[in-house]
């Protein structure tokens, strides 16, 4: 479960990115986080991953209190999250297989666990034939699916994606979003930041709208009002 209570966050240069947000996301939910560019969506993601700290309020993530977490607990908290970025962030000199093996090893998986887990995850994202390919040999949509596989491979409780379709054409975006919905149906909580209105409308999921560091709408269905270009 993710819970933000009266959270405020200010960057070192004085930009007040989050101005008092309260938000609860239950286990197994699928949530779109939408809003114009610069409204604070990425900052919320960074707060969830512990990359930045709130200056006020409390944040709970999968049993960890992020607002006063100890140095030692941060890695453990991050293991409950799978994170996906707009720019994929794959390691270009590693094959698809090695990109996944690398993050499993990083959290202490044994060679046997790695060998068992990777084929399953690659098959889930439809890339079982691409295990030996390098990221540069794949299309954007395929690369993003590798990133999803990597986010899933350590079996996190929650997937967090920041504009995962930002670099993809509409067909690939739809495929990718459907894949995230499928993953959600397998039991993983999914939080997706996006500004693609058509996609959001199509899925009829919970939509949280952010504007200028505030939650301005939280409802099931489509986009509500305002500019959606971001």
Partner 1 sequence: MAKHDIGYFAHEGLSNMFSHGFMSFAAVGITVACLLIMGTFTLVAVNANELLRDLEQENEILAYVDDSYTETEAKALQTTLEAVPNVASAVYISKEQAMEDFVAQYPDEDMFQDLDPEILRDRYAIKITDLEQIRQTKETVEGIPGIARVNAYEEIAGGFITVRNVATVICVALIVILFVVSVFIISNTIKLTTFDRRDEIAIMRMVGATNGFIRWPFVYEGFMMGLLGAVIAFFSQWGLYAAVTRGVDNNDTLQLIHVIPFQELWVPVAAVFAAAGILIGVGGSLSAIRKFLQV
Binding site for ligand ADP (CB under 6 A): 11, 13, 15, 17, 35, 37-43, 230
In angstroms, give the least distance from the CB of 207 to partner 1.
26
Q: Which does 37 bind (CB under 5 to 8 A by kind): partner 1, Mg ion, ligand ADP, none?
A: ligand ADP
Q: Which does 229 bind (CB under 5 to 8 A by kind): ligand ADP, partner 1, Mg ion, none?
A: none
Strand partners, 198: none
Q: Which does 135 bind (CB under 5 to 8 A by kind): Mg ion, ligand ADP, partner 1, none?
A: none
Which residue's CB is nearer to ligand ADP, number 158 or number 194? 194
> Minimal CB distance to ligand ADP: which residue?
42
Say if residues 219 and 44 touch (Cβ distance below 8 Å).
no
| Residues of this chain that bind Mg ion (CB under 5 A) | 42
| Residues of this chain that bind partner 1 (CB under 8 A) | 49-50, 71-72, 74-79, 81-83, 89, 91, 102-103, 105-108, 110-111, 150, 154
In angstroms, give the least distance from the CB of 162 to ligand ADP.
7
In angstroms, give the least distance from the CB of 74 to Mg ion.
22
Question: What's CA 60's distance to the chain center, in Å?
Answer: 16
Which residue's CB is nearer to partner 1, number 83 or number 180? 83
In angstroms, give the least distance from the CB of 148 to ligand ADP.
20
Q: What angle do CA 52, 57, 63 make, to 5 degrees?
A: 75
Q: Which does 74 bind (CB under 5 to 8 A by kind): ligand ADP, Mg ion, partner 1, none?
A: partner 1
In angstroms, give the least distance from the CB of 177 to ligand ADP.
18
Say if residues 217 and 225 touch (Cβ distance below 8 Å).
yes
């Amino acid at each position: 479960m993710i819970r933000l209570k009266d959270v405020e966050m200010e960057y070192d240069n004085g930009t007040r990115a989050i101005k008092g947000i309260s938000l609860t996301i239950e286990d197994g939910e699928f949530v779109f986080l939408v809003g114009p560019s610069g409204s604070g969506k990425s900052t919320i993601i960074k707060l969830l991953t512990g990359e930045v700290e709130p200056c006020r309020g409390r944040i709970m993530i999968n049993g960890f209190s992020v607002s006063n977490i100890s140095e030692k607990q941060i890695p453990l908290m991050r293991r409950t999250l799978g994170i996906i970025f707009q720019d994929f962030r794959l390691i270009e000199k590693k094959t698809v297989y090695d990109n996944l093996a690398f993050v499993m090893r990083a959290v202490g998986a044994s060679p046997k666990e790695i060998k068992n887990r990777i084929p399953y995850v690659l098959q889930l994202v439809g890339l079982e034939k691409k295990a030996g390919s390098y990221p540069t040999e794949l299309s954007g949509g395929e690369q993003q699916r590798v990133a999803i596989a990597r986010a899933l491979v350590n079996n996190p409780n929650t997937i967090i994606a920041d504009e995962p379709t930002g670099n993809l054409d509409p067909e690939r975006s739809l495929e990718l979003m459907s894949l995230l919905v499928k993953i959600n149906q397998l039991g993983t909580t999914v939080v997706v930041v996006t500004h693609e209105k058509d996609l959001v409308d199509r899925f009829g999921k919970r939509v949280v709208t952010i504007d200028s560091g505030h939650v301005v709408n939280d409802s099931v269905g489509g986009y509500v009002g305002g500019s959606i270009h971001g």
